[in-house]
A = this chain, B = another copy of it.
């Protein structure tokens, strides 16, 4: 499988190398990525936990925000648009303490102003642990 998700030919010139950003810190492994779906896996480690030992709730939001943004920017950039997050709404269903987390993202809706993505987080036992819905605004750069 080819490298995901950054193909220098199709993405905007980045201001900061990904490895130095929060996206790099999350250390996502991209499994799939197109205009309709995305799939990502990441490992639970102390730096993503809160002090009581659970995966930090903010990680779910940050991972979903990353997936929705990357997938939308990648799709709209070639047509001269940019994208930025409007809304990020997470529901936590079951704590995760160890192992890896698999995230499946699906584009629920798109129109000329907004793309809506829904993300489901599963633990290593295939249990649904969180749902995060993200709205990305699509706009022509000023």
Given A61-B61, A65-B57, A131-B116; A17-B51 close (CB under 8 Å): yes
> Within 8 Å of chain B (Cβ to Cβ): is A94?
yes
User: B56, A62: Cβ atoms under 8 Å?
Assistant: yes
Contact A23 B56 (CB under 8 A): yes
Interface residue SS majority, chain A: mixed
- Min distance, Cβ A103 to any Cβ of chain B, angstroms: 13
Query: What is the 8 Å Cβ interface bit string for chain A, positions 41-63, against chain B (1 contact, 0 not)?
Result: 00000111111111011111111
Q: Considering only CB atoms, which chain B residue lies closest to A120 in the complex?
A: B108
Query: Does A78 reach chain B (CB closer than 8 Å)?
Result: no
A59 nearest CB neighbor, chain B only: B22
Contact A51 B135 (CB under 8 A): no
> A100 an interface residue at 8 Å Cβ cutoff?
no
CB distance from A88 to the nearest CB of B (A): 4
Closest Cβ neighbor of A73 among chain B residues: B52
CB <8 Å contact, A14 and B88: no
29 contacts between A and B (CB under 8 A): A15-B49, A15-B52, A16-B53, A18-B51, A20-B47, A21-B51, A22-B47, A22-B50, A23-B50, A23-B51, A56-B62, A57-B61, A57-B62, A58-B58, A58-B59, A58-B63, A60-B88, A62-B62, A87-B87, A87-B89, A87-B91, A88-B88, A88-B92, A91-B135, A93-B109, A93-B114, A94-B111, A109-B131, A116-B131
